[in-house]
Structure 1
Amino acid sequence: MRRLMKFLHTMGAIGMMGAMACLVVLLGMIPQPSVSLSHYAEMRAAMGAIVRYVFFPSLGLTLIAGLLAIAVNRALHSAGWALAKLASGILVFEWGFAAVQGPMQEAA
């Protein structure tokens, strides 16, 4: 079970980093809205799709698999940092959602 959780955690992290790399590349290629508004809107829609269909599911998989790995490993139940990791994982998901979705919707 621990190997499965480690595998899922790793796959989620790979998906997150791939999505971030795609977003950075698209961000570098996006034109100014004053130059080509239709191309700008298409690029923003593509970035939104990457966030919606790759980044957020990968982030959720990484957080859930990491938290389940802590739940499966009995040695970590008494670790004081386990609750801090739980709280930080939830905050990262919430802040990541707000930080990515807010500006993209405003720009669109």
Structure 2
Amino acid sequence: MRPLLKFLHSLGAVGLIGTLAAYMVLLWTAPPPASVEEYTVLRGAIASLSSWLLLPSLGVVLVTGLFAMAAHRPFLDARWAWVKAYMGLPMFEGTLGHIEAQAQRASRILENTPPGEIDPAVLQELMHSEWIALWFVMALAVGNVALAVWRPRLRKRPD
């Protein structure tokens, strides 16, 4: 059971970090929000990335990480494992509450507003928010991988 959980957890982390990187590439190469038709195609690609890779990878990472802690008793005493578990909370919030929410908001604006009435400044502001959230979640994800590889002792300081 433990090797399967480790494999799935690693696979989920690869998927999560890879999807965040692909998302960043799409935003980096994005057409200006003023060219609504091209920008709408970009948003469709981002929605597909999010639905098919980002959210499932995040779910696999979080669930297998918690199951691995429950299945392997020494992880319950390892502080690095608890740090990883606690880092999962802001990863979850950052992904669902910011990255996914901003992407859906931009898609709704594009769907519900006639092309001539879309304010490019609003879409640019949403992209800026996405960038901040993407870098935040990417830093947490890479930090989690570093903790898993490095496994620092994180001992209490002597009084």
Structure having the higher Rg = 2
Q: Separation in 2 of the partners of 1:33 and 1:17? A: 26
Superposed displacement of residue 91, structure 1: 4.0
CA root-mean-square deviation:
1.9
**Is the CA contact 2:76–2:82 (under 8 Å) kept in the aligned structure 1?**
no
Unpaired runs of 5+ residues, structure 1, are none
What is the count of residue pairs matched by the alignment? 107
- In structure 2, the CA distance between the partners of 1:81 and 1:25, relative to structure 1 (3 Å rule), is closer
Matches for 1:1-108 after TM superposition, within 5 Å: 1-34=1-34, 36-78=35-77, 85-108=84-107
Gaps of 5+ in 2: 108-159
Give 1:87 deviation, angstroms.
4.5
Return the alpha-carbon distance in structure 1 between the equivalents of residues 96 and 87 of structure 2: 14
User: Larger relative CO (CA 8 A, sep 6+): 1 or 2?
Assistant: 1
For normalisation by structure 1, the TM-score amounts to: 0.84
Superposition TM-score, scaled by structure 2 size: 0.59
After TM superposition, the runs of 4+ consecutive aligned structure 1 residues lying more than 6 A away are: none
Shift of 1:28: 1.5
Distance 1:42 1:7, change over 3 A: same
Task: Quickly say closer, same or farther: Cα 1:68–1:42, change in 2 above 3 A.
Answer: same
Identity fraction in percent = 37
